[in-house]
Chain A
Amino acid sequence: MQSFTNLTAVAMPLVRANIDTDAIIPSREMKGVSKTGLKDGLFAGWRYTQIGGREPTPGFPLNDPSYDGCAILLGGENFGCGSSREHAAWALAEYGFRAIIAPSFNPIFFGNCVRNGIVPVIADLAFIEAAAKAVSQAPQTHRMTVDLEAMTVTSPDNAKAGFALEPEAREMLLHGLDGIDLTLRLRDKIDASVDADRLARPWIYL
Chain B
Amino acid sequence: MAKTLFEKIWDRHLVQRLDATSDLILVDRVFLHERTGSVALRSLKQAGRAVAAPRQVFCTMDHVVDTFPGRGDKTTMPTGMNFITATREAALEAGLTLFDLGDERQGIVHVISPEQGIVLPGATVVCPDSHTCTQGALGALAWGIGSTEAEHALATRTLRVARPKTMRINIRGRLDEGVTAKDLALHILATLSSSGARGHAVEYAGEAVRALPVEARLTLCNMATELSAFTALIAPDDTTFEYLQGRPYAPKGDMWDQALAEWRDLSSDAEAVFDVEHHIDAGEVAPMITWGTSPQQGVGINGRVPLFEEVAGRDSREAYDRALKYMDLTPGAELADVAIDAAFIGSCTNSRISDLRRAAAILKGRKVAPGVTAICVPGSTAVKQAAEAEGLDQVFKAAGFEWRESGCSMCFFAGGESFGPKSRVVTSTNRNFESRQGPETRSHLASPETVAASAVAGRLADHRRLLS
Interface residues of chain A, those whose CB is within 8 Å of chain B, are 16-18, 20, 22-23, 26-35, 45, 51, 76-78, 81-86, 89, 104, 106-108, 111-112, 115-116, 166-169, 179-180, 182-184, 186-187, 189-190, 193-194, 197, 201-206
Contacts and interface: CB of A to CB of B under 8 A. Distances in A.
B157 A182 contact: no
Given A22-B433, A203-B259, 7 more contacts: A20-B433, A23-B434, A27-B415, A84-B144, A89-B146, A179-B149, A203-B120
Contacts of A35: 39, 43, 147
A180 B49 contact: yes
B2 interface: no
Nearest to B43: A35
Shortest 4 CB-CB distances between A and B: which pairs? A28-B415, A203-B251, A86-B146, A112-B146
12 contacts: A20-B436, A51-B439, A82-B436, A104-B195, A106-B228, A107-B199, A116-B148, A168-B19, A183-B160, A186-B24, A190-B24, A205-B56
A104 B198 contact: yes
A194 B157 CA distance: 9
Of the candidates A31, A180, A190, A194, the one having the most CB atoms from chain B within 10 angstroms of its own CB is: A180
B319 A16 contact: yes
B160 A167 contact: no
Interface in B278-304: 293-294
Given A18-B293, A22-B435, A194-B26, A180 B152 contact: yes
A60 to B, nearest CB: 14
A186 to B, nearest CB: 6
Contacts of B82: 32-33
A132 B319 CA distance: 17
B79 A32 contact: yes
A27 to B, nearest CB: 5
Nearest to B255: A203
Interface string B14-27: 01101111101010
B162 interface: yes
A111 B195 contact: no
A34 to B, nearest CB: 7
Nearest to B154: A180
Contacts of A76: 316, 319
Of the candidates A16, A166, A183, A184, the one having the most CB atoms from chain B within 10 angstroms of its own CB is: A183
Contacts of B130: 82-84, 108
Contacts of B228: 78, 81, 104, 106-107
Interface in B216-237: 225, 228, 230
B92 to A, nearest CB: 15
Given A28-B414, A203-B120, A112 B148 contact: yes
Nearest to B14: A193
A202 B152 contact: no
Contacts of B414: 27-28
Contacts, number: 185
A153 B228 CA distance: 25
Given A20-B433, A180-B49, A28 B148 contact: no
Interface in B148-186: 148-149, 151-152, 155-158, 160, 162
B249 interface: yes
Nearest to A203: B251
A75 to B, nearest CB: 13
B94 interface: no
B413 A27 contact: yes
A179 B148 contact: yes
B120 A186 contact: no
Contact of A180 (B42, B151, B319, B322): B151
B318 A168 contact: no
B83 interface: yes
A193 B144 contact: no
B262 A18 contact: no
B28 A204 contact: yes
B9 to A, nearest CB: 11
B352 interface: no
A28 B83 contact: no
Contact of A179 (B39, B160, B433): B160
B335 interface: no
B56 A202 contact: no
A82 B433 contact: yes
Contact of B39 (A33, A83, A115): A33
Contact of A107 (B35, B158, B198, B294): B198
B51 interface: no
A166 B23 CA distance: 12
Contacts of B120: 203-204
Contacts of A194: 26, 157
Given A108-B145, A179-B148, A204-B123, A34 B433 contact: no
Contacts of A89: 146
A111 B130 CA distance: 13
Of the candidates B15, B79, B122, B128, the one having the most CB atoms from chain A within 10 angstroms of its own CB is: B15
A21 B148 CA distance: 16
Of the candidates A18, A20, A82, the one having the most CB atoms from chain B within 10 angstroms of its own CB is: A18
B194 interface: yes
Given A183-B160, A197-B26, A167 B19 contact: yes
B139 to A, nearest CB: 14
